Every structure is written in C-alpha cells, then in structure tokens.
Amino acid sequence: MEAGKTRGGEKAHFASSRLEEARRALNKAEEVFRDFLEKNRNYLTSSDPYVRLQGTRFETEIKLRQQLLMTIALNHEQALLEEKNDLPLLNVIDPPNLPVEKSRPARSIIVLATFAVTFFALFLYKKREWIIARIAVEDNVGQNLK
C-alpha cells in the first residue's frame, strides 16, 4: 500500500523542514534589527546616511523573510492536504481467486503431441518420393480397371 502511493508525504516532510528553516532565518533577522534599533532608535531621522541605509536594509530583509515564511507556510499546508488526499495508484478491489484445477491440458501432453506431429511430418517428408510413386501406381491401376 505504501509503495503505491504518490509523493505527498515526502513533499509535506520537506515543506515542514523548510518552514522551520524560514522561521529561524526570520527570527535571526528580527534579532539583528532589534540590536540595530537599540543602538539607533531614530535611524530614519538620523543625519548619517549609512545608518538610514542600514536600517532600511534590515527592514527589507525582515519583509522578505516574512513573505518567504508566508509562502512556505502556504505550500506546507498544501502539501499536508496532498498527503491526506494521497491515494494509492493501484487499488485492489477483490483478492485473486485461483482455480483449483487447470482448465487446459498439462504441458507434458502438449510437448508429446508436438513431438509426435513433428516426427510424423519428418517421416512423410523423407518418404515423399516413395509416397508419390505409390500414389502414381495406384492411379494407373485404377485407370486400367475402368
């Protein structure tokens, strides 16, 4: 039953592990941004362009990680649904019902009959001249009697 299923379970397992990786990456990005904010509370109004640029980079990184996490979470849910709908490719409706006795002749009888027919055909082929001569003699005798 397991061998006949599609890959829904594998997709769900992969999506689950990828979802955990994305959550860890988002948490790390949020930590880095939090550390930056503790040092630079008003980075948007700062006169230093490097601080403003770094702050906006951290913000965009967090937004990117959030979108990535949302996409992976949706794919994870889709994979879980596929796993639940995972049907075997081959359904056995009824177990096989094997007959008690064979319905055809045994193989040994078929082999013996084939051997006998082949032997008879080879015999006739070797004696074909004698048979043709015998038939011709019988035809001549039959014509003489009429």
CA–CA separation, 40 and 55 (whole Å) = 9
Residues 59, 40 contacting (CB under 8 angstroms): no
Provide the whole-model pTM.
Answer: 0.53
Q: Where are the domains of the chain?
A: 8-84, 107-145
Per-residue pLDDT 10s for the chain (146 aa) are 455 455 677 888 888 999 999 999 999 999 999 999 988 888 888 888 888 899 999 999 999 999 999 999 999 998 888 877 766 566 667 777 887 777 777 788 889 999 999 999 999 999 888 888 888 777 666 566 55
DSSP secondary structure letters along 88-99: -SS---S-----
CA–CA separation, 13 and 35 (whole Å) = 34
**What are 33's two structure tokens?**
């941004």
The closest alpha carbon to 75, from 21, 111, 24, belongs to 21
The closest alpha carbon to 29, from 63, 73, 52, 74, belongs to 63
86 φ/ψ angles, rounded to the nearest 5 degrees:
-70, 110
